[in-house]
Amino acid sequence: MTKAPNNPLKTAFIQLGILPFLLVAAIAFFALNESRFLSSLNIFNVARQSTFLIMIAMGQMIVLLTAGLDLSVGAVVGFAGVVSALVLKAMVAAFPDAMVLAAIVAMGSGVLAGMVVGLINGIGVALLNVPPFMMTLGTMTSLVGVSLSMTKGLPVTQIPDAFQDMLGYGRMFGMAPAMVFTIVLFIAMWLLLNRTTVGRYFYAVGSNIRAAQLSGINTKRQLMLAYLICSAICGMVGVLFLARTGSAEALNGSNYGLQAVAACVIAGVSLFGGAGKVRDVVLGAVFIVILTNGMNLIRVESYVQQIVLGAILILALVADQLRTRLITR
């Protein structure tokens, strides 16, 4: 009996998932419908705009690997930006000639603010056994209120130009600072997940937390570490976002919550934990930015963009289930 020839598309789908197909389709569609899409200026804009989402998606991936979920990532970005802005202005007022010191303290304050939130999330999930969805939903709601209280509902403006030049519009190794931070973070995350015991433990906890406990893994520590890393990354994004925009407010990162989850799911990170690659998450985030950028260029209304993003997220989930069945067969 002759064996039927393999379908190349089916084989590619099983090996790579749906993301490459979505990426190629989006690029082809927007290139055919908008001449500016493939211009060097727009490609640079996509690369710059994708940096924040890539970093947040990598942080969200760590949490998803442990079968968790962090809904507070966007609120952490806004909160860290507010803390950094207030600390920066206070430092500049106290030490007007020490801009570098003020910038370092402001950056440290933003990251530390993120880590405090991550620690709270980690304690709630790991030690108090609060479901991740409810824990991070509560944190998200509270953080927005805290940020609004700190700013009295108004944006924090008048950020020194030197700070924006340093971390927003300046150049590091010929690139925008956010791009450099993204590349460094990607390398660190790849090494963490592929070359360290701690990284392998994240996968083990998400795959089967009971089996991980029986094998001697400190699962509570791993869960807390996952939320700590995620929020620390979001804190850094809050600082970079402040430097880029020159203002801080509670809702600065509100769009990143859904987008980060979508980028991870489209990239094949399992919502049930234990599966996902950081390389694919980067491509997933780039796809989300390309999709948003292309729809803006062809003048798609913002509410339609939300519909498209939600539909693609559902499509990615269905495709992931189909791929799992094909792999099982």
Using DSSP, state whether 248 is helix, strand or coil.
strand
CATH number of the domain that 161 lies in?
1.10.3470
The per-residue DSSP string of 43-82 comes to HHHHHHHHHHHHHHHHHHHHHHHTT---TTHHHHHHHHHH
Q: Residue 2 falls within a domain, yes or no?
A: no
**Do 202 and 226 touch, CB atoms closer than 8 A?**
yes
The count of domains in the chain is 1
Residue 207's domain comprises 18-323
- Of the pLDDT bands very low, low, confident and very high (cuts 50, 70, 90), residue 79 is very high
User: What percentage of residues in the chain have a pLDDT greater than 70?
Assistant: 98
Q: Taking the CB of residue 303, how many other CB atoms lie within 10 A of it?
A: 7
pLDDT of 4 strictly over 60: no
The per-residue DSSP string of 159-208 comes to --HHHHIIIIIS-BTTB-HHHHHHHHHHHHHHHHHHH-HHHHHHHHHHH-
pLDDT tens-digit series, residues 111-141: 999 999 999 999 999 999 999 999 999 999 9
**Do 38 and 303 touch, CB atoms closer than 8 A?**
no
Q: Return all residues near 10 (Cβ < 8 A) that are at least 6 apart.
A: 326
How many degrees, rounded to 5, is the angle at CA 140 between CA 137 and CA 143? 150
Using DSSP, state whether 246 is helix, strand or coil.
coil
- DSSP assignment letter at 21: H
pTM, 2 dp: 0.90
pLDDT of 3 strictly over 80: no
**Do 53 and 285 touch, CB atoms closer than 8 A?**
yes
Q: Residue 148 falls within a domain, yes or no?
A: yes
Q: Of the candidates 250, 112, 107, which has an alpha carbon nearest to the alpha carbon of residue 168? A: 107
Q: Residue 4 falls within a domain, yes or no?
A: no
